[in-house]
Structure 1
Amino acid sequence: MAAKEHRKRSVSFSELVDAPLPITHPRPISFKKTIEHIELDLANQPVDPCKRGPDSTINYTELFLASTYINDARYARSYKHKVEQEYLKYYALYNTAFLTYALYFFLFLNLSLALFEEPAVNNLSLPYWSTMLMELLCLGYFTFRLVHSKRFSSGLRWWTDTKHLITVIILLLTCIDIILYIILKEACNSCTVVRWSRCLRPLFLVNFTEMKQLRRSFRNIRRTLPEIFYVLILLFIVIGLFALLMRELFKDENLFMPDGTPYMTAYWDNIWHLYVLVTTVNSPDIMMPAYDKNAWNVLIFIAYIIICIYILMSIFLAVIYKNYRKHLKNEVQRSVFAKRRQLNRAFDILKVFNGNQFIIPWVRWKVVMKLVVPHRSEVLIRLLWDIIDEDEDDQIGKAEFMHVVDLLNTEISEVADRIPLIGRTFPQCYESTISRKIKDCVRAPIFRYFFDVIIAINAFCIGFRWDQTEWFFLTLFTLEIILKLYTLGGHQFCRKPWNVFDFVVIMGALIASIVESVTEDNLDFLLVLRVLRLVRIIAEIERFKVILATVANIGPSILSFGAVLFVVYYVFAIIGMEVFGGLITHYGYPDKYDDPSQEYCGNIKLKGSVFYREHYCHNNFNNIINSMILLIELTVVNQWHIIASGFVLVTNKSARLFFILFHMSVVIVVINIFIAFILEVFMVEFSLSNNNFESTVERRINELGLGVTEIAEGKFEAQSPKKCLKARGRETNQEDLVDNGAPIASEDALENGGQDTTEGNARARDDGVRFRLKGRSRNVEVVLQRLFEGELNRDDLGSSNVTNIDDLEPEDMTPTPLTFENIT
């Protein structure tokens, strides 16, 4: 039975790779002697690499392990998994898309439970037992992922991993909280019971391996905090000294604030007002009573503003930028070392000895790539080989193999000129003289320039509200869409996002205009579409294109900080709901209320307050949505002290601590780190956008003659078709040569007036495979590694004394100066 399974598995894999390389599966022999158990693997490749030749047998387990190492390097995985085949299968299952997306779903479900739990969003409230069942389902899947990961991980190493310990602790605390809540809720249904574990839910988001970028951001923030802490202490010392000084200066001046409270007589109130002044939102209000009393009093406020706002806050940004960049660089370089070590292990498995060096032959490259990228065609795998084999000696050395991850992360697509559906349906009409002139006109630059001018004129008309011209411009833009679809076809038309944007906006505007004409109703939606149409002007300005492309490339990196903000918001929102929930409610602002209890945001303590007078009642913590909106307002900073004053009035002055902590966490720390990160990434992406691995790949594709050049919109010109066809294993002959993508007609075609009647030549273009880059890689890890990998020596694998890359300290790294020549 075992032999039968072995034969079946071997044949299946051989059919998959279709390669002459002998691939074997282990055939162990076992025997027992007393208490010893010995297993011999008779099907393994030679242990001594020097004895491996290009035709040497390779063990399927070793091949699978090599592909695992390559994928780990490709996706920046850091799991320390076992290397036996049984555990590798568990590891591969763990990383399947289905289980990974299932994790994302349950993380999202767990966080979204706050919408349905008390205090719930309007009309979304569910019984507590139903939300708890959903939460237990989420906890069950999280437990399954932990058990699954432990199955293929080393036991001791698994338990010493901090993220696993934190996840286990959160699971236990959540279960305890659920049990206590059920007991207390059943014992006293009318009592208020606090679900204190809800603020721990975002920690699941941080501590699963799949959320590596988010965890890295928090880890770097934590490592940056000690340096920030000393500047923060200095800031509060200065605030405390000025608060004491102002109390002594103004306590006997008998001054009052506009609301009637004594001016600068209470020390802790002075600290609050001066901290708010650091954010500038109460300037010059806080200064005016002293200024009105004596103009010279303004000098102390000027000194405070210069010291705290223009010096200390600038030092904050400088310290954060310097230290965060240092920690980010160390993190990314650890990732680079891990990638290089994994590729080094894969190379050691695959390498054979040829002449006087270790290399990987084509046959081994082919079979391992079939495991690494099973959905890519053999033609594309051959192209990857040709690109990485830059010296064209039909073998890959170690230095070349170390670029395999960069190559796999570069999106390459097969390209062929496509005939639109209308061209296939009515070929004679589509290829007629008039049709060709129309297509040439659409592809000509003058076509684009003409409609750019029309867009500018349309903007002028919209600005002066000449609505009577709307149908004229709408007709022109609709005609432009039709002509582009006719020339390019649907597939080629949709390849450009701006074309899709145009189609959606113009068709939406056309439909809305027809509806408006029929119903005679004014549609605000139509006004929005008219304005959106002008956005296309941005796409036609070259400098804007560069900026937008740079922003698009760093977009995923920006999203990781969006996730950081979301985690912080969620924690503060849950705490805010538990502390301030129900104290302020929005009932509108009529002159008279039917229910007197609804006056003053439902709380009489707000009577006469600036909070109520400014109509801030909707800024409350009564559900998760309102809480998030309120926290966004606090992040913007403007009027945040008035929002805080409302919650101080309905509770006490200790509520200020909540708002100060939020401001320090988000505005001072996270936002400044976000700015530092954007500055670093944007400068490198913007200045070195043409000096990257994608450019090298594109150059190699063109050198091989497998590339295409876009000579007009939707029309491609093949480069050196002989090499292209050679890469496919076809013989080059006269009929295979192409001119601008079109095959030279055969003798049969010439005899029939240029119409090719031979079978298989019905298409107007050849079927030779050509390739082009889809665009820059936007993977967050790729972008970050591009930032700092150039500062490392090419062959540096990290300290040999450190087996775990995560244990590397900054002094273990050997950076080299970053230049335009060594950036990749």
Structure 2
Amino acid sequence: MDNHIESYKPSQSTKSNDSNLLNDGATRIVRSRTVSFVKNENGGEMVTIDLVNQPEAEERTGQTVMNDSDIYLAATYIIDAVETRNYQFNTDPGSLRNYHLYNNRFMQYVLYFFVFVILMLAIFEEPAVNGLSMPYWSTHVLELACLAYFVFRMRHHRSFTPRRIWWTDAKNIILVVAISVMCVDMILMTVLVETGVIEKPFRWSRMLRPLFLVNFPEMREIRRSFRNIRHSLNEILTVLILLFLILFLFALLGRELFSDDDLKEVLSSEPYFAHYIENIWELYILVTTANSPDVMMPAYDWNSFYIVFFVIFVLLCNYIFMSIFLAVIYKNYRKHLKNEVQTSVFLKRRKLAKAWDILKVTVDSKFVLTWERWRAVMKFVIPKHSDMQVHLLWKVLDNDDNGSVAKWEFLRIVDLLSVKLSTINQSMPFFQKYMATCYNSTLSEFICKYVKHRYFRFFFDFVIMINAFLIIVKVDEAEWYFLGIFMFEILIKMYVYGFYKYFKSAWNVFDFVIITVAFVISAIEEVVQQTSKDFTEPTLDFLLVLRVLRILRVIGGIERYQVIISTISNIGPSILTFGGVLFVIFYVFAVIGMGIFRRRITFYGYLPDNAYTDPTQLYCGTGIANFTKSEFYNHHYCSNNFNDITKAFVVLFELMVVNQWHVIADGFVLVTHKAARIYFLSFHIVMVVIIVNIFIAFILEVFMVEYSLSKSKYEGAIEKKIDELGLGVDLTEENQDKKSKPVKLDKLGLVSNAEGENSTASDKRPKDPGIRFRIGKKSRNVQLSLQAMFEGELDEENIGPEGLEDNDDLDVDENEPIAYTLNNAV
């Protein structure tokens, strides 16, 4: 659903349609304001807008004429609430026009493109990916183009934002500083290269590029995640400090216990637990379990009683302290997540309250919203919805059917508009329409009945499982038979349902692509014997394995798994948001890693498999003979280096997995200095200890919400109203499991009402228009689910603290977490 309004003034066709829709007798609900131009004494021009006959809210009635600019402004507030936008903007016509242009989808996609380009430039800059290096001036040109668009975007944002607000927004200040620093850095690099001072300087300012992925207003989901992390850091750092105090204590205790026994490290002649700083490092690795039981073996071999030291340490730090650490993270993150979500609720309600003040009229001494005004504003809010859909949504809000909506009902409009409502055209299949005699024959009816039966699906599910088994045991002779069976399934479904309905299913599209490509490649392989085996066989095998993914349909048909699969799919977008958080942190650490460790280690092969002719290639290019004795070299880790950004990302991913992370760290310590451990320790603390645990806390929270709330309240209300109006899709026909039932007719004359006639329900049964509605399949917005969880704790008309204008303005300690139950989640 595209909720964007392209421009301030509607097109001529839109004006014509609105005029036909909104004319009711001799009275128009909407009319344009008159604008006059006058010159002041200094010769300048001034625009004045005629506000005559614009009564106060108390004086407005259902017959009061309403300005199109007022409707447009009210629609803007509603769209902002639906899109969870928190922009502050001037409401004059010029600013409002710029505001909607700023939120144009195309403009946003261009921004995403330039953010992607500036981040990907690291692939082509020094140190570049092998074979992709570009001259420094060419990357500078591309970077300047990106920065130019960012400046344009910021200037555009400034055009509709009050000056004081724009310059006090930390996001804008950060962007201005980042752009300035990067421009200065490019100038300095150009001077250094052209004067020959440095041949290939390293640009540290690339660390600032992820700021563009966070601080533009469009990136609010990623920014919200970072804001919650920032707010949670105080308590997290307190616990982290306590953890290191325990490490310091046990490191000192270990030195006093083991240093006098003249023990040696495993595979080393270094004294065991004799150096205090080394002890802290080894014990921190033990907290991650990566060096267990290696670190304890020298002491255990010397004296079995020493195992008590390590058992106490592991139980205290790994099982007790780290569990408490996760609990503290979850508690604080949930508290700040609640603050964040409730602030979003407050801001959403303020937007809707502004729209309400514009739209409300007085009926029987009460402020209400009438059907005519609802219809007028919805033409701007959801322009792609049909009149029937607009009327259906109104019937859900106006549940008591009194022709008006109160404020508390209007404030729920976001939940209503967030439900995806699909229009289903009950058209005839292609073959039924153009080959009616054949399609309606007795044999054809029998085929259609069988294909629509659930046992048809069960049969092919069984065939898929047999095919999967034969692929596992490598019985290739039967593949042509299975390809033929699956091609037959595709063709018979197209015949029964028609091309439109067949390709409406994503699974059918998947089947069609996989089976068709596999069939074509198999045919080519049979006909052209000279076809390269290296290409056709691996490709065909890959497609055959992909075909087995249809087993997921079998799993999806089991009720116990449907809720879990649905929950995972619903939280998918939020998982991608955290993927953006991970990318930002990876990018910053990758740039730092390349600056410190580039070309320190390079993979040239390993002796004796590779006979080196260039002495600089010895020992993975380190020039250190003892490097071959390290675990890093013996585990063949030399491909794990920081010689370009792609390899740096791989190394960081391996560090995030934790296993053997200390071996990777020790490899780079050997070629630099022990101070390099600070880099790896910092990454582990930031990514593994903090970010991953916060990610787990978030998944726990949203999974509980999604698992408990299988359907939103308004999804159920809309489905109920669709059924009452007789406009629902016959689910038995859609599921193809049972014999189809006659399609219900429109009981309340909704079609006539949508065409501009009396909006009161009618008992007449008009001709079936062939259009039905159902709740569309769409990943639920997790933000809305979280709002549903926390909004129940707020009064219906609570709009938050005075002066609250943005999420950053709410005191992070204002709301204490409340125990989650299904009652306060609804």
Determine the structure 2 residue equivalent to 1:769.
Answer: 771
Residue in 2 aligned with 1:342? Answer: 351
Please name the residue that 2:78 is paired with: 70
Cα deviations by residue, 1:95-121 (Å, 9 ceiling, x for unpaired) = 111111111011001101001111111
| Contact preservation (8 Å) 2:39, 2:46 | yes
Alignment partner, residue 748 of structure 1: none
Partner of 2:189: helix, strand, or coil? helix
* Counterpart check, 1:597 vs 2:605: no
The answer on 1:267 being equivalent to 2:273 is no
Identify the match of residue 96 of structure 1 among 87, 91, 104.
104
Distance across 2 between alignment mates of 1:430 and 1:325 = 59
Determine the structure 2 residue equivalent to 1:588.
Answer: 605
Equivalent position of 1:652 in the other structure: 673
Counterpart mapping for 1:329-728 below 5 A: 329-518=338-527, 521=533, 523-541=537-555, 542=558, 543-589=560-606, 590-605=609-624, 606-712=627-733, 713=735, 718-723=743-748, 724-728=750-754
Q: CA deviation at 1:399?
A: 2.0
Task: In structure 1, give the amino acid aligned to 2:549.
Answer: V
Partner SS state of residue 138, structure 1: helix
Structure 1 counterpart of 2:797, from 784, 791, 795: 795
* SS of equivalent residue, structure 1 residue 468: coil
Q: Counterpart of 1:175?
A: 183
| C-alpha contact (below 8 Å) 2:74/2:359 kept by paired residues | yes
Cα separation, 1, equivalents of 2:385 and 2:566: 27
Counting only pairs closer than 5 Å after superposition, residues 117-136 of structure 1 correspond to structure 2 as 117-136=125-144
Amino acid at match of 1:296: F
- Cα distance between partner residues in 2 of 1:255 and 1:45: 95
Unpaired segments ≥5 residues, structure 1: 1-5, 738-765
Which residue is 1:322 aligned to? 331
Give SS of 2:774's match.
strand
**Could you say what secondary structure the match of 1:129 adopts?**
helix
Query: Could you tell me how far 1:418 is from its partner in structure 2?
Result: 2.8
- Offset of residue 636 of structure 1: 0.6
Q: Which residue of 1 aligns with 2:788?
A: 786
Cα separation, partners in 2 of 1:390 and 1:189, compared to 1, 3 Å: same
The Cα offsets for residues 79-135 of structure 1, whole Å up to 9 and x where unpaired, read as: 111111121111111111111111101100110100111111111111101101111
What RMSD, in angstroms, separates the aligned Cα atoms of the two structures? 2.7
Judged with a 3 Å threshold, the aligned counterparts in structure 2 of structure 1 residues 805 and 185 are, in CA distance, closer, same or farther, namely closer
Range 514-523 or range 674-683, more displaced: 514-523
The higher relative CO (CA closer than 8 Å, separation ≥ 6) is in 2
* Alpha-carbon distance in structure 2 between the residues aligned to 1:656 and 1:242: 20
Deviations 1:148-174 (A, max 9, x none): 111111111111111111111111111
8 Å CA contact retained: 1:681, 1:787: no
Change (3 A) 1:117 1:37: closer
Does the 8 Å CA contact 2:426/2:771 hold for their aligned counterparts? no
What CA deviation, in whole Å up to 9, does each residue of 1:293-335 have, x standing for no partner? 1111111111111111111111111111111111011101100
Higher mean displacement: 653-662 or 718-727: 718-727
How far, CA to CA, are the matches of 1:773 and 1:183 in structure 2?
61
- Specify the SS of the correspondent of 1:413: strand
**Amino acid paired to 2:809:** D
Partner of 2:253: 245
Please say if 1:57 is aligned against 2:65.
yes
Change (3 A) 1:400 1:331: same
Native 8 Å contact 2:123 2:644 kept in 1:
yes
Contact kept, 8 Å, 1:387 with 1:701, in 2: the verdict is: no
Q: CA deviation at 1:422?
A: 2.9
Aligned to 1:114, the other structure's residue is in SS state helix
Call closer, same or farther: CA 1:213–1:45 in 2, change over 3 Å.
farther
Task: Identify if the C-alpha distance between structure 1 residues 472 and 369 changes in structure 2 by more than 3 Å, giving closer, same or farther.
Answer: same
Cα drift, residue 592 of structure 1: 1.3
| Alignment size in residue pairs | 791
Paired residue type of 2:360: K
**Cα 1:27–1:446 shift into 2, 3 Å:** same
| Mapped partners of 2:295, 2:164: distance in 1 | 59
Is the 1:410–1:777 Cα contact (8 Å) retained in structure 2? no
Q: 1:297 to 1:813 in 2, by over 3 A?
A: closer
Provide, for residues 712-770 of structure 1, a one-character-per-residue CA deviation record: whole Å limited to 9, x for no partner: 34668533433354444599999956xxxxxxxxxxxxxxxxxxxxxxxxxxxx53322
Distance 1:498 1:14, change over 3 A: closer
CA contact (8 A) 1:73 1:405 kept: yes
1:592-642 CA-partner distances (Å, limit 9, x unpaired): 112222121111222322111111111000111111111111111111111
Aligned residues of 2:361 and 2:367 also touching (Cα < 8 A): yes
Shift of 1:61: 2.3
Give the drift of 1:348.
0.5
Matched position secondary structure for 2:801? coil
Alpha-carbon displacement from aligned partner over 1:35-92 (angstroms, at most 9, x marks no partner): 9999864345534212112121222322221111111101111111111112111111
3-state secondary structure, aligned to 1:410: coil
Instruction: Work out the CA distance in 2 between the residues paired with 1:94 and 1:807.
Output: 24
- In the alignment, the residues of structure 2 paired with residue 696 and residue 105 of structure 1 have an alpha-carbon distance, to the nearest angstrom, of 39
Matched letter for residue 578 of structure 2? F
Q: TM-score, normalised by structure 1?
A: 0.91
CA distance in 1, matches of 2:53, 2:299: 87
* C-alpha distance in structure 1 between counterparts of 2:528 and 2:644, whole Å: 40
Which secondary structure state, in structure 1, belongs to the residue aligned with residue 730 of structure 2?
Answer: strand
Paired residues of 2:37 and 2:45 also in contact (CA < 8 A): no
Letter in 1 for 2:543: L
* Pairwise CA distance, 1:532: 3.0
The 3 A distance-change label for structure 1 pair 793 and 604 is: same
Q: Give 5+ residue unaligned stretches, structure 2.
A: 1-7, 24-28
Distance 1:40 1:816, change over 3 A: farther
> CA offsets, 1:468-514, max 9 Å, x none?
33333332222222211211222212222222222233223323333
Matching residue's letter, 2:796: R
Q: Match of 1:360, SS?
A: strand
More deviation, 406-415/439-448 = 406-415
Match of 1:231 among 224, 239, 242: 239
After superposition, where does 1:112-151 map in structure 2 within 5 Å?
112-151=120-159
SS in 1 for 2:423: strand
Distance 1:728 1:351, change over 3 A: closer
Match of 2:773, SS state, is strand
User: Are the structure 2 counterparts of residues 166 and 34 from structure 1 closer, same or farther at C-alpha, using a change threshold of 3 Å?
Assistant: closer
Q: Flag the 1:17–1:97 CA change in 2: closer, same or farther, 3 A.
A: farther
Q: 1:711 deviation in Å?
A: 1.1
Distance 2:775 2:669 in 1: 58
Question: AA paired with 1:596?
Answer: P
From 87, 91, 107, the counterpart of 2:95: 87
Q: Which residue of 2 aligns with 1:760?
A: none
- Given residue 619 of structure 2, which amino acid in structure 1 is its aligned partner? Y
